[in-house]
Amino acid sequence: MLALAAVAVAAVAVGAAVLWWSGATLAGDDVALARVEVQPLGGSLVSARAFGPGGAPIPLSVSGGRLLPRALLAPGEAVTVVVVVRRPGWLGWALGRSRTERLTLHTPLARLTERWVTLAPHAALQLRFAEPVESVSYRIGSLQRAVSAAGRRAFSLGPQTPSGTVEVSSAARRWERLGAPALVTWFPVSRLPVVLVSPSQGGAISPSAPIRLTFSQPLGKALGAARPRFSTRVPGSWSTSDSHTLIFTPSGFGFPLAAALRLGLPRELGVAAAGSGATPARAIDWNVAGAGFLRLQQLLAAAGYLPLYWHAAGDPVPRQPLAEVSAAVTPPAGTFTWRYAQTPPELQRLWIPGRPNQITRGAVMMFEDVHGFAVDGVAGPQVWRALLTDAIAGTRHGGGYTYVYVHRDVPQLLTLWHNGRVVLTSPGNTGVPAAPTQLGTYPVFEHIAVGTMSGRNPDGSHYHDPGIRWISYFHGGDALHSFNRASFGTPQSLGCVELPLATAAKVWPYTPIGTLVTIES
């Protein structure tokens, strides 16, 4: 009996040894994607396949049991590896002809160990990784370089400016693509926590540009529970991208155009612009970029306040606040064309795209009057906000476009032009030689149905005429208006353009504030 038991034990031991030496293992590897090891009695490797996310096949090469991808993979990518081993004939009969091993893994990530560094003057900036890396790409400002790290954990970028930020991408294996970029920020030595500001303090900032504050210490230590605050209300929100970084993202129309912007800090910090040392401060200042005059003309044309159309060269500006604000600062390319086939040459000569002119000034005044603003012909913040709001809403002015031109040579005539046609031509009286009507083009700035006109005669005496009808002031005390005269067409006024009552009544509805009046010889 004892002998039989010993034989049985020996048989079990032999079987176990056969099973052990006929196995195969599949595991990760420090160099390759994976390693397969086939035991001496395990047979031979038949196939090795790999699949990426969604089951996409990954071509492999096999060398010394190592499985190497033949296409670059992304760091951190989930990969499934499947190998099939064929057993020898007698083992295949006993244990099955083949054995399949499956392994799911993630490609390695190269992690930086220090992303916020205090750098002594003239010291070299070191990039340090948690594991060896094969390749590194970095960008500082406009300088971008790709280098081989050859399996090192640290890489020197050499001496740098006192403060700054470098964007780093890396790959832990030769068969990996570079990973997503990470920022490494360095700060000058300071007794205070230091904040690196982007865009740089004191410079110009776009109304829609995010503001990024990166601190040398974690936010809780650098600021406590408080947060920076703007001196004026600005639409937007604060967020954190990491434990050291605050980002303000403007919304709505962003920072006020052409404004001085100040951000107050909850405590004194060392404030550093890129490439500079730290200066103790309790506030950070910028200048918000102003809007371009060309964009003012584009918006006025699109809204129907100019006698021109605006045609964008590319895609139209999206009807969104920040997109419209960005276009106000950097006007899109395009062309202007006249809205009417028959446009008076006197009016055409006044137009200058991209530069101040009376056509644009008159359009701004009309826009101000339509929107109930004080009329000064200057496109200030209130005007710009309304222009952008109208652009987003697609609001257009429906009053058409009027132009009045007066020939001062005898016989003196007034011509009223509206929306491409002459509405009327009428004799009128301009100023006598002692009080001439000044040559030039002027926008109507006051528009009243009846009023009192008073002033000084050329001989020094005063006049006071109540009940004057259909008045449109365009230059100082000069106006288009009705007046009772025996005749019209010769100099008789004190600078105004006098019209018969019936004619003035027809002209007046066409000459709201902003309408251009040209006096020519």
266 by DSSP, 3-state: which?
strand
Quote the number of domains for the chain. 5
Shared domain check, 56 and 90: yes
Tokens of 514: 């902003």
Shared domain check, 100 and 45: yes
Rounded-to-integer distance, Cα 49 and Cα 60, Å: 7
Shared domain check, 163 and 206: no
Helices (H), 330-470: 345-348, 358-370, 381-393
| SS3 readout for 493-505 | ECCCEEECHHHHH
Which residue, of 188, 216, 236, is where some domain finishes? 188
Shared domain check, 66 and 34: yes
Rounded-to-integer distance, Cα 370 and Cα 368, Å: 6
DSSP code per residue over 285-331: EEEEPPPPHHHHHHHHHHTT-SSEEEEESSSPPPSSHHHHHHHHHSP
Which residue, of 288, 313, 336, is where some domain finishes? 288
Shared domain check, 423 and 505: yes
Residue 379 lies in a domain: yes
Q: Is residue 424 a contact partner of residue 417, using CB atoms and an 8 Å limit?
A: no
**Cα–Cα separations (whole angstroms), residue 432 to 410, 501, 502, 520, 521:** 12, 20, 23, 15, 14
Backbone angles phi, psi at 343, to 5 degrees: -110, 130
Length of the chain: 521
Rounded-to-integer distance, Cα 154 and Cα 449, Å: 83
Question: CB within 8 A of 508, min separation 6: which ones?
Answer: 447, 449, 470, 471, 472, 480
Q: In what order do the strands lie in the sheet with 116-119?
A: 116-119, 182-188, 164-171, 124-140, 143-159
Q: Name the amino acid, one letter, at 209.
A: A
**Cα–Cα separations (whole angstroms), residue 351 to 313, 337, 354:** 20, 11, 10
Shared domain check, 214 and 164: no
pLDDT for position 21: 42
CATH number for the domain harbouring residue 208: 2.60.40.3710
Shared domain check, 414 and 371: no
Rounded-to-integer distance, Cα 299 and Cα 302, Å: 5
Residue 111 lies in a domain: no
Residue 35 lies in a domain: yes
Helix or strand (DSSP H, E) at 4: helix 2-21
Shared domain check, 32 and 52: yes
Which residue, of 393, 412, 435, is where some domain finishes? 393
pLDDT for position 40: 59
Residue 313 lies in a domain: yes
Residue 387 lies in a domain: yes
Q: How far is CA 372 from the centre of its chain?
A: 31
Residue 28 lies in a domain: yes
Shared domain check, 297 and 200: no
Backbone angles phi, psi at 93, to 5 degrees: -65, -35
**Neighbour count for residue 255 (Cβ, 10 Å):** 25
Q: Give the residue carrying structure tokens 């390319």.
A: 333
Shared domain check, 298 and 282: no
Q: Name the amino acid, one letter, at 45.
A: L
DSSP E strand stretches across 1-142? 24-27, 34-38, 44-51, 57-58, 60-63, 66-69, 78-86, 98-106, 116-119, 124-140
Residue 386 lies in a domain: yes
Tokens of 128: 């340090």
Q: Give the residue carrying structure tokens 């009080």.
A: 435
53 by DSSP, 3-state: which?
helix
Shared domain check, 238 and 214: yes
CATH number for the domain harbouring residue 459: 2.40.440.10
> Is the alpha carbon torsion for 24, 27, 30, 35 positive or negative?
positive
Shared domain check, 280 and 383: no
**Neighbour count for residue 154 (Cβ, 10 Å):** 13
**Cα–Cα separations (whole angstroms), residue 69 to 56, 64, 107, 236, 302:** 13, 14, 11, 46, 57
pLDDT for position 10: 41
pLDDT for position 472: 98
pLDDT for position 17: 41
Q: Is residue 488 a contact partner of residue 427, using CB atoms and an 8 Å limit?
A: yes
From the first residue on, what is the mean pLDDT of each consecutive set of 10 residues in the chain (521 residues)? 44 40 73 84 76 94 93 95 77 58 92 95 94 95 89 92 94 95 95 94 92 96 93 94 96 94 95 83 96 97 98 95 95 97 96 97 98 96 96 95 97 98 98 96 98 91 95 97 97 97 98 98 92
Residue 149 lies in a domain: yes
Question: For 31-81, how does the pLDDT look when each residue is reduced to its tens digit (9 = 90+)?
Answer: 999 998 876 544 578 889 999 998 999 999 999 889 999 999 999 999 999
CATH number for the domain harbouring residue 152: 2.60.40.10
Q: Which domain holds residue 234?
A: 194-288
